[in-house]
Amino acid sequence: MKSLSYLNKYFFKYKWRLLLGTIFIVISNYFGVQMPLYVKSTIDDLMKSTTITSIEDALYLSLKIGGIYMLLSLISGFFLFLMRQTIIVMSRLIEFDLKNEIYSHYQKLDFTFYKKNATGDLMNRISEDVSQVRMYLGPGIMYSINLVALSILIITQMIKISPYLTVFVLIPLPIMSFLIYKVSSKMNLMSKNVQVEQSMLSTLAQETFAGIRVVKAYSREKEAHEKFNATAQEYKSKSMKMVIFNAFFMPTIVFLIGLSTLLTIYIGGKLTYNHSISIGGIVAFIFFVNKLTWPFASIGWVTSINQRAAASQTRINEFLMTEPAIKNASSEVFDFEGKIEFKNVSYTYENSGITALNNISFTLNKGETLGVIGRTGSGKTTILNLLMRQLDVTSGELLIDGHSVKSINLDQFRGQTGIVPQDVFLFSDTIANNIKFGSNDASISMERVIESAKKAHVYDNIIAFPDQFETLLGERGVNLSGGQKQRISIARALIRDPKLLLLDDCLSAVDTETEEIILNHLKEEFKQRTSIIVSHRISSIRHANKLIVIDQGSIIESGTHESLLALNGVYTEMYTKQLADENDLNQSL
């Protein structure tokens, strides 16, 4: 329950709504209590007097009772409506705030956090868990206030009529609350089990559809379906159990209400012998008991709602309290001049224990281009991740313009960097918007978009589509080839006119000829900024000012294309092999 105290700040924010809601609850209940009292006094009058002498009198009286009863119900109902309007609306507002708070916190968290936690889990906490918490904020709070207000109003009236009968009719209520609490807890447990199955089912479906091409290519539809079917069966049987349990719930409550009514009539009837209660009093009691039953029944329900909300809030807090491992250390203006220095940098991935980089050192000055080449898994991408401070070095130092990367304004540094990641990601949006995404200026002109597309040598491809730059990509749009995606991703990096340009194997899916064209376009770009090109292919990096060859996280050779060839080492070996492959390819074409 302690976890829920986190939400108090929101109650404070919406204190006026909460207060107003409480006032409405009291008013609504006040009028609700007047109804039975009115019925009581009318019946008692009738029993005593002989005012009714004709059929007209009787008709008039019934209309009067009916009319007043309706009026009181209307007033009570109207305030009930206002109470929902304030308290339930408050809970929706808090829900909205909380979702935003969680979302913005998620965005602060780093790479490692996202590696550790499954996307499904992140989504659940922002949707499922927040919904549970809202049940506490809305109905939970509302029914609790309602119970207190109603109990005070009704029980005082009951005691006024007959203290003795009050004691008797109130006895079953706490028992009922307890029973309902037990039942609700059991139901929650069941629904939790159902939820677990449900999320397994959706994860399974999502994975299958995401990998549908592989599933179909290997004609594994039948197996996939069987797997789905098995999980769905499990889901079904758990849901069925819950339905049966649920079915007993309502009848039990109705039975208990009936029992209380019976008790009222029986004991009340006996009391009329010695005139300690009037007939009208008994009728009023029946009304009162019925009115109290629901709020008392809700105690059990509310308790279990609150418990569930507390469990959800604990999960939410766990993420909200996760401090980002990488935080922006400075809010000072940072203007990147162009110098990068790796000083004996090593990096070990915590989760796998793999030392991806081992004692890496190099310096890159303004306007220079570094080419990084090495086998797969040698640590090339890790260098870029460290440079962008997606990760922090395990040992050694990484200097940007002579300052530790940990001390500069990270947002601004990243804002001046253009990265083309190895695994291209394009949004389900238009091509134009995907390219514009790179720019810090939301209203960047179409000319700039076109210019970057031309530089990335993807312009001709784009205008060949019927919708050109407005072509939708992704799920409901067109599919691009690997090479087209890479080039759009390059255009995205170029449009921001970055001071630092990082290309991670971003020409792997284009042929050598296109690569040559793009590199020629980029030459001008490289002159103006500091750049790093990572590649498997020597053709992509041979023109760089500096080259490093890495193997298993260490630099094994470094120099320029010419000096490396002169070394006659690994680089030369790679070069001759790649040249030979290319010649073979050319001959076979």
Residues in touch with ligand ATP (CB under 6 A): 115, 349, 351-352, 354, 356, 374, 376-382, 422, 505
Helix, strand and coil content of the chain, in percent to the nearest 5, comes to 65, 10, 20
**Sign of the alpha-carbon dihedral angle for 557, 559, 560, 564:** negative
**Sign of the alpha-carbon dihedral angle for 235, 237, 241, 247:** positive
**Which one of 276, 422, 468, 578 is in contact with Mg ion (CB under 5 A)?**
422
Q: Is 588 exposed, middle or buried (0-12, 13-18, 19+ CB in 10 A)?
A: exposed
Binds 378: which of ligand ATP, Mg ion, none (CB < 5-8 Å by kind): ligand ATP
**What is the C-alpha to C-alpha distance for residues 160 and 144, in angstroms, rounded to an integer?**
24
Nearer to ligand ATP, 43 or 357 (CB): 357
Nearer to ligand ATP, 110 or 451 (CB): 110
Nearer to ligand ATP, 177 or 381 (CB): 381
Under 8 Å between Cβ of 331 and 409? yes
Joined tokens for residue 284: 């009023």
Nearer to ligand ATP, 356 or 393 (CB): 356
Q: Give least dist CB 2 to ligand ATP, A.
A: 35
Q: Is 99 exposed, middle or buried (0-12, 13-18, 19+ CB in 10 A)?
A: middle
Nearer to ligand ATP, 108 or 115 (CB): 115
Binds 177: which of ligand ATP, Mg ion, none (CB < 5-8 Å by kind): none
Nearer to Mg ion, 504 or 557 (CB): 504
Binds 174: which of ligand ATP, Mg ion, none (CB < 5-8 Å by kind): none
Binds 351: which of Mg ion, ligand ATP, none (CB < 5-8 Å by kind): ligand ATP
Q: Give least dist CB 423 to ligand ATP, A.
A: 9
Joined tokens for residue 360: 């890496």
Nearer to Mg ion, 322 or 422 (CB): 422
Joined tokens for residue 159: 């005691």
Number of residues that bind Mg ion (CB under 5 A): 2
Rule CB under 5 A: say whether 484 interacts with Mg ion: no
Distant-in-sequence, close-in-space partners of 484: CB < 8 Å, separation ≥ 6: 458, 461
**What is the C-alpha to C-alpha distance for residues 554 and 323, in angstroms, rounded to an integer?**
32
Nearer to Mg ion, 448 or 536 (CB): 536
Q: Give least dist CB 371 to ligand ATP, A.
A: 13
Q: Give least dist CB 505 to Mg ion, A.
A: 6
Q: Indicate the DSSP class of residue 479.
A: P
**What is the C-alpha to C-alpha distance for residues 177 and 253, in angstroms, rounded to an integer?**
10
Rule CB under 5 A: say whether 417 interacts with Mg ion: no
**Which one of 76, 162, 358, 381 is in contact with Mg ion (CB under 5 A)?**
381
**What is the C-alpha to C-alpha distance for residues 265 and 282, in angstroms, rounded to an integer?**
7
Q: Give least dist CB 314 to ligand ATP, A.
A: 28
**Cα 261 to chain center, whole Å?**
47
Q: Give least dist CB 378 to ligand ATP, A.
A: 4
Write the DSSP assignment of 130-171 as a string of letters. HHHHHHIIIIIHHHHHHHHHHHHHHHHHHHHH-HHHHHHHHT
Q: Give least dist CB 401 to ligand ATP, A.
A: 25
Q: Give least dist CB 117 to ligand ATP, A.
A: 13
Question: What residues make contact with Mg ion under the rule CB under 5 A?
Answer: 381, 422
